[in-house]
Structure 1
Amino acid sequence: MTAPHAPWPGESRNATEGSPPADALPEDDDEAVCRRLDDAIEAVRAPDVVFALSRGGRRTVRCGGTGPPPSVPRDQLRYEIGSASKTFTALLLAHLTQSGILSAGEPALSLLAPARRTGADPVTLAHLITHTSGLPALPADFYPRALPTWRTNPYAGFQDRHVIDAFVRRRPPRRPGSRWHYSNFGVAVLGHALAAATATSWDDLLTCQVLSPLRLDGTALHPTGPDTDATGHRKDGTTPTPPLTIGGFEAAGAIRATPHDLLTFLEAHVDPTGSPLAAALRATARPVIRRGWGHRNTHTIGWFQHPAEHGPLYFHCGATLGQQAFLGYRPDTATALAAVCTRRYHARETFVATAYALLAQT
């Protein structure tokens, strides 16, 4: 989740905050990894920066930033991951479909407004998660509600009922499935449709079906306070921003998690063997869309997929009004990378490029 107008995308204290893993890599290799992560932190000028790398399940977490160290170690705080939350929503949808609870071909309208006719080409759950629903990035009536809190919490005033009503009224200008267009609106609708289909609140549904099975105890859907949540900052890197309040867009951008939990989430994707969500994790890695010139842009239901030397690289970025996140993994090298920082995206931003290059070259 990012600011409404962008649907997605100094000195560092290079020190590890927290205990090193018991199964640390050999010293020379470990030191080389630490240097690479420290270099990445140096390249990102934000008050708080964490780069967390897992190779074959062996973790190296490095922390730094231009601001003073917070009272809680940086790697133990929860960070807003914005649109990278969609990877959690995609896994939930995959799990519900793999379990036979529902079908991805189910029309969303039949779940949210059963009395309404769906028409010949309905928007399905699959269309919503793959950004092929024909819905815009945000509902047209979002902006008037967002203006009073545009620079602080623009999503807060657009609640669940507003998202659902906007979808029920909306008639996509083109046939669903015919064009890719990134949409926070679409994934937010998907969340409400899944909640309706299971007669379960979004918080309980995601927690019971995804967070608990993966043991993501350091992950939350709402801010819980300065002792647990990292503080975001505006473009200047010094002015604090309030915690994100997501309104009715929970499925599109509500997740906040510790770097360690994000690594746990990614490691499950690298090797799903033995996971209670194994079938769903494998399903989220399968390409479902190829678009662009020569069909060079590949997408799964939850990830952007790029070619790498020995196999595909999967990633997703996210941003809020004061924080950024990068999640990525490579099955070919059994590598996962979770990177977070507490500064809003700005014109000379290096965060995403630095994180992507680190994953691609590892």
Structure 2
Amino acid sequence: MTTRPAPWPGDPLGVTGPFPFDGPPTDAAPDGETVRRLDAAVGAVDAPDVVFALSRHGDRTVRCGGTAPAPPVPRHRLRYELGSASKTFTGLLLAHLTRTGLLSAGEPAAALLDPARRARQDEPITLAHLITHTSGLPALPADFFVRALPAWRTDPYARYPAERVVDAFLRHRQRRRPGTRWHYSNFGVAVLGHALAAATATPWDDLLTAHVLRPLGLGDTALSPGGPDTDATGHRRDGTTPTPGLTIGGFQAAGAVRATPHDLLTFLEAHLDPAGRSLTAALRAVRRPVLRRGLGHRHVHTVAWFQHPMEHGPMYFHCGATLGQQAFLGFRPDTGTALAALCTRRFRARDTFVSTAYAVLAEA
């Protein structure tokens, strides 16, 4: 399978059942059909805590529920782990840094991490290759599983710190020319984060906060675990065994973000209507296709999102999972609709969370 990157050199999851709802009051009186749709979606997901938060032309409806008793802090006020959906924040940051001229998407990542390598690479992996998953890097470093195995059920990423991510990248021997194949890579996006931090001489958390979180007003979004008063508790596949809060080691750019449902709607609403914002150029840039792949080039990707065609315009989405939580983020400019769906259980491949969330947004 070959890819044709654009000039920017850059899990369907069946259980149903009526579970209790504890949806909070909404910002505007929602229509009954929206409430019924979201309540049905919450009820279709067999997880201790479930939140479906939908915005349509700025009017928000948030419905919560789950198989567990409601926690002391209302579900819609807790932060949820986004896992790989964090990459939408990383993609927006890269688009902003390139649009403002702070760096180029065609910059070789190795040269930023080790300036001595600048003149020694014929076909270097660029920042754009890393964010578009066309770098040729594997999903995870070759020695990741050996190091993570002792903590596989508790905290595997914590055993692979930033310096090991960078070292594994600099030692990696390319088997394919960058830009010729698409292969989803947490490793690659993690390297991108370290390259951006090196290029700006700014720690990752500070960089993302200064250029994305603060400008968009995301005050309830964090990049490290909090406590039971701020963070939702994840659960393993049985839906009852709790998991510890995720510590991400050197993979911050690939999966560190955790946020409340309302902050996620704020983030998605900015993508729906970029005009007049401090990140206007970047928000518009991340909606443009940069890569098509698969038979007939049916699969379309932007800098940060998967893009699927709808009748009147594209739908953008990204999913994510950690040891004990799952997330779905998506938006549709044609209907002015955004959806953040979250749950506190790690599902098997054929369970309903992602397919339910996708259907809610597609039918909105």
- TM-score, with structure 1 as normaliser: 0.95
Cα deviation, residue 24, structure 1: 3.1
Q: Give the aligned CA root-mean-square deviation in angstroms.
A: 1.0
Partner of 2:275: 273
* Secondary structure in structure 2 of the residue aligned to 1:115: helix
Partner of 1:16: 23
**2:73 counterpart of 1:67:** no
**2:355 counterpart of 1:349:** no
Partner of 2:193: 191
Cα deviation, residue 118, structure 1: 4.1
**1:24 aligned partner, one-letter code:** A
Output the CA distance in 2 between the equivalents of 1:62 and 1:39: 10
Contact 2:130-2:188 at 8 Å conserved across structures: yes
How do 1:112-261 and structure 2 match up within 5 A? 112-116=113-117, 117-261=119-263
Partner of 1:87: 88
Contact 1:109-1:118 at 8 Å conserved across structures: no
* Secondary structure in structure 1 of the residue aligned to 2:276: coil
Output the CA distance in 2 between the equivalents of 1:243 and 1:51: 21
Contact 1:263-1:337 at 8 Å conserved across structures: yes
Which segments of 5 or more consecutive residues in structure 2 lack a partner in the other structure?
1-10
**2:26 aligned partner, one-letter code:** P
Q: Which structure 1 residue ranges, 4+ long, deviate > 3 Å from structure 2?
A: 8-11
Contact 2:130-2:192 at 8 Å conserved across structures: yes
Cα deviation, residue 11, structure 1: 4.0
**2:19 aligned partner, one-letter code:** S
Deviations 1:307-345 (A, max 9, x none): 001000000000000000000000000000000000012
Partner of 1:5: none
Output the CA distance in 1 between the equivalents of 2:269 and 2:138: 33
Contact 1:11-1:66 at 8 Å conserved across structures: no
**1:198 aligned partner, one-letter code:** T
- Percent identity between the two aligned chains: 72
**1:268 aligned partner, one-letter code:** A
Contact 2:54-2:337 at 8 Å conserved across structures: yes
Output the CA distance in 2 between the equivalents of 1:258 and 1:67: 19
* Secondary structure in structure 1 of the residue aligned to 2:52: strand
Output the CA distance in 2 between the equivalents of 1:216 and 1:115: 38
Which segments of 5 or more consecutive residues in structure 1 lack a partner in the other structure?
1-7
Cα deviation, residue 347, structure 1: 3.9
* Secondary structure in structure 2 of the residue aligned to 1:143: helix
**2:313 counterpart of 1:307:** no
Cα deviation, residue 15, structure 1: 2.9
Deviations 1:65-92 (A, max 9, x none): 0001000000000000100000000000
Deviations 1:253-286 (A, max 9, x none): 0000000000000000011011110100000000
* Secondary structure in structure 2 of the residue aligned to 1:232: coil
Output the CA distance in 2 between the equivalents of 1:132 and 1:120: 17
**2:56 aligned partner, one-letter code:** R
Cα deviation, residue 136, structure 1: 0.2
Partner of 1:97: 98
Count matched residues: 349
Output the CA distance in 2 between the equivalents of 1:39 and 1:68: 18
**1:237 aligned partner, one-letter code:** G
Output the CA distance in 1 between the equivalents of 2:349 and 2:172: 34
Contact 1:270-1:331 at 8 Å conserved across structures: yes
Cα deviation, residue 93, structure 1: 0.1
Partner of 1:44: 45
**2:194 aligned partner, one-letter code:** H
Contact 2:19-2:67 at 8 Å conserved across structures: yes
Output the CA distance in 2 between the equivalents of 1:119 and 1:298: 29
Range that drifts further, 112-121 or 93-102: 112-121
Partner of 2:332: 330
